[in-house]
Amino acid sequence: MFSALSLLWQGMANQLTEDELSAFNAEIEGLRQEHRDLDAAIAALQAATTVDQLQVQRLKKRKLALRDRISKLEDAITPDIIA
């Protein structure tokens, strides 16, 4: 079975089976959960009396990477509508 991103890169998003669509949705939900967890971790670090700015920056960078991947996956499962 192809991974969600390999299907995206091959331009096969319009030919997804139900199983592949379910895999996309499951991966998106997992990434969203990780994104929320990172948000909570960043908030907790910033609330601490001594803030490790390097760690906060790393978490924010990871959070942005997750947001980009989520967007790519969502775009892959949304059909292109030409108006």
The residue range of the domain holding 41 is 17-77
Rounded to two decimals, what is the model's pTM? 0.72
Question: How many alpha carbons fall within 13 Å on the CB side of residue 52?
Answer: 8
Q: Is residue 5 part of a domain?
A: no
Structural contact between residues 69 and 55, judged by C-beta atoms closer than 8 angstroms: no
pLDDT tens profile 3-34: 555 555 445 555 778 888 899 899 999 999 99
Q: What is the pLDDT of residue 17?
A: 85
Is 25 part of a structural domain of the chain? yes
Q: Are 70 and 4 in contact (CB under 8 A)?
A: no
For the cut 80, the answer to whether the pLDDT of residue 46 exceeds it is yes
With respect to residue 2, please indicate whether it lies within any of the assigned structural domains: no
Asked whether 45 and 51 are in contact (CB, 8 A), the reply is yes
Do 22 and 7 meet the contact criterion of CB atoms below 8 Å apart?
no
User: Which pLDDT score, from 0 to 100, does residue 5 have?
Assistant: 54
- The dihedral formed by the CA atoms of 65, 35, 39 and 44, expressed in degrees to the nearest 10: -110
Whether residue 63 lies inside any domain: the answer is yes
Q: Greater confidence, 78 or 53? A: 53
Digit-coded pLDDT (tens) for 59-68: 999 999 999 9
In-domain check, residue 43: yes
Question: How many domains is the chain partitioned into structurally?
Answer: 1
pLDDT at 12: 52
